[in-house]
Each structure stands twice: as C-alpha cells, then as structure tokens.
Amino acid sequence: MTHTVNDDSTHRSGTAVLIATSLTLFSMFFGAGNLIFPPIMGASAGSNVTPAMIGFLIGGVALPVISIITIALSGSDIRDLVNRAGKSFGLVFSVLVYLSIGAFYALPRTGAVSFSTAIAPVIGTKSVLASVLFNLIFFGIAFYLCWNPTNIIDSLGKVLTPILLGLLVLLVFLCLASLPASHDAPTGEYVHNPLAAGLLEGYMTMDSIAALAFGIIVVTSLGHTGGGIGAKVVRRTSTAALIAGALLGVVYVGLGLIGHVIPNAQSYTDGASLLADAARSTMGWPGHIVFGLIVLTACMTTAVGLIAATSEFFNRLLPSISYRAWMILFTLISFVLASAGLSSVLAIAVPIITFLYP
C-alpha cells in the first residue's frame, strides 16, 4: 500500500515538473521579438494569412522544437554538436553564438526593448537617467532569478509564465472578440509565396539557435528537479519541447489574427505599435498596462534564460571561473549596453549574427 502511494506521489511530482518545464521553455522562447513578428505577418499576409501562418509555425515553432530535442538526445551543448566540423570551428562558432544571443546583443536588447516599449510610453520620457534606473531594476531581478540555476524552472514555469500566458490570453480574446474584421489584400512577398514568406518571418525569431542554448539548461535542471536521468530526461525534455511548441503555436496564431483583423492593418510598420493600438482600442487606458506587462514579462523570462544559458556554457568552457562569476559579468555588460543604447552594438552585432544565423 505504501509503495502505491509513493508511486502515485512520484507520478504527480513528475507531471508537475514536466508542466513547469514546458512553461519555462515557452517563456524563454517568447521574447519581445516573438510578440511583434506574428501581428505584422498577419497584417502583411492579408487574405493569404493561412499559408503564411503555416510557414511561420514551421520556422518559429517546428525548428526550435527539433533543436531542443536534438540537444536532449545528444546530452551535450552546441559546442559538442558543432565540433563535428572541427574543434577550432566548433569553439569559435559556439562562443560567438553565446555572446551574440547573450550579453552583446539579445540580452541587453531585452532591457532596452522593455524600457522603450513598456515603460517610456507610460512615464512620458526616454531620458538616460530613467533608462539607467529601469535597467538597474530589470537586470537586478533577472540576476536574482538566475542565482540558483536549479530553481529556474520554479521561478519561470510556476510564477512568471502563468502570468504571461494569462495576459496573452486576455489580450488575444478581447481583441478578436471586439475588433471589426478587416481583411486586406496581401502585400510584398505574401502575394505570390506566402508560405515561404511566413517561414522566413518565423525563422527570424532566432529561436532555432536560441534553442541550442536553452536546451542544455532544461536538461540540467530536469536532472536536479525530479526529471530523472538518462533516457527519462530525454523523454521529458522532448515532451516539454512539444508542449512548449504547441503553446507557442496557439499564441502565434492568436497574435497573427490580431494583425489580420485590426482596421488599417497595413498602415503599421511594426508589431509593437499594432498590438499597443489593439490593446488600447479594446481595453482603453488599461490596455497600455496590459500590453506593457506582457512586454516586461516576456523580456524578463527571456533575459533569465539567456543569462543562465550563457553563464552555464562559459562555466563548462572555463570551469575555473564559476557560474555565478560569469553571471555577474554578463549581467553587468548587459546593463551597461542596455542603458547606453544599442545602436552602436547593433552595427557590430548584426554582421556577426548574419554569419551565424543566415
């Protein structure tokens, strides 16, 4: 009898860990870029939104899920995978990937985008002082959440991600229920080849390469939080990736439909302003708050994942320097770059990213 109770308790615990891991993966993938790409795709695709959305889901969901499963099966990180092309190439490529998706581009971008999109419109200023104060708080919270890497699944999967999903559901439901349908003709590449155009848009979320970084964090965390070892971790990580992918797909479809139905959709040049107007049109002034919280939460969860992933990688690369020492270094660099502005960083980072992620 006792054995049965223990088995049942273990099963419930394993299920809870799996759900939390799935939500964690979703939140690490779903950053500000993932929020703004689908609405613009929906607006540009017009009447060709269905094939465009299928392409977007292939590039923005299927490829990242495959990347996570690949990491789970290999039980290693991106360096071990790329080493097959040569150890020197593998080392240089891996370091450049982690630096570009980490402290020298994507990580400071989470703070900069949070401030410019969620905070500045509310406080009415984009002053350097306001940016510095905000980024100090933003990266301070991210640093705290990363301090113990084995607790990341609890922090993201059980707290921040449910909040993010709840806000996204609220936004999508109210917008689709309230906005008058407006179906424009497709524009640009969406006229003749909407599937390929949507696939490219989904690919440009860069989640396929981010998955190679996030995968090892999830595998490591599962090994310390009841996920089992060996084949069991592979199964759980793969299942978590599929669940996270399904959640991403549902959210992308909802956001894409907002861009598809909002009046004068093709007058917008970016997804952030489109969603901000959609939120304000359906919720009034509180819509600013809801949209701002979505951006803040999405950027925070991504920042936590990026700090943890890059620190874990460089700790494995140079074990003499601790995980927390790398954390401090990358958080400080990101804080400085986010506060100073990203224009000069982008001039350097974009060519490197284009080489790594053509």
**Binning pLDDT at 50, 70 and 90, where does residue 9 land?**
very low
At 245 the pLDDT is: 96
Q: Are 97 and 78 in contact (CB under 8 A)?
A: yes
At 17 the pLDDT is: 81
Q: pLDDT tens for residues 299-333?
A: 999 999 999 989 989 998 999 999 999 999 999 99
Task: Please report, for the domain that includes residue 92, its CATH number.
Answer: 1.20.1740
Q: pLDDT tens for residues 105-120?
A: 889 989 999 998 999 9
* Helical residues (DSSP H) of 147-230, grouped into ranges: 152, 161-178, 194-203, 207-224
Q: Are 198 and 52 in contact (CB under 8 A)?
A: yes
For residue 324 the two structure tokens come to 């927390």
pTM for the complete prediction? 0.88
Q: Kindly give, in sequence order, each residue whose CB lies less than 8 Å from that of residue 258, ignoring residues fewer than 6 positions away.
A: 39, 42, 171, 172, 175, 176, 179, 274, 275, 278
**Binning pLDDT at 50, 70 and 90, where does residue 358 land?**
low
For residue 8, pLDDT over 60 is answered with: no
Q: Concatenate the DSSP letters of all residues of 12-45 into one string.
A: HHHHHHHHHHHHHHHHHH--HHHHHHHHHHHHHH
For residue 350 the two structure tokens come to 């974009």
- For residue 215, the one-letter residue type is G
Identify the domain containing residue 258 by its residue range.
Answer: 2-356
DSSP structural state of residue 181 = P
**Binning pLDDT at 50, 70 and 90, where does residue 257 land?**
very high
Q: Kindly give, in sequence order, each residue whose CB lies less than 8 Å from that of residue 222, ignoring residues fewer than 6 positions away.
A: 17, 21, 153, 228, 233, 236, 237
Q: Other CB atoms closer than 10 Å to residue 357's CB: what's the count?
A: 15
Dist CA 29 CA 259 (whole Å)? 21
Domains: count for the chain: 1
At 11 the pLDDT is: 47
**Binning pLDDT at 50, 70 and 90, where does residue 7 land?**
very low
Nearest to 116 by CA among 309, 273, 250: 273
Q: Kindly give, in sequence order, each residue whose CB lies less than 8 Å from that of residue 147, ignoring residues fewer than 6 positions away.
A: 324, 327
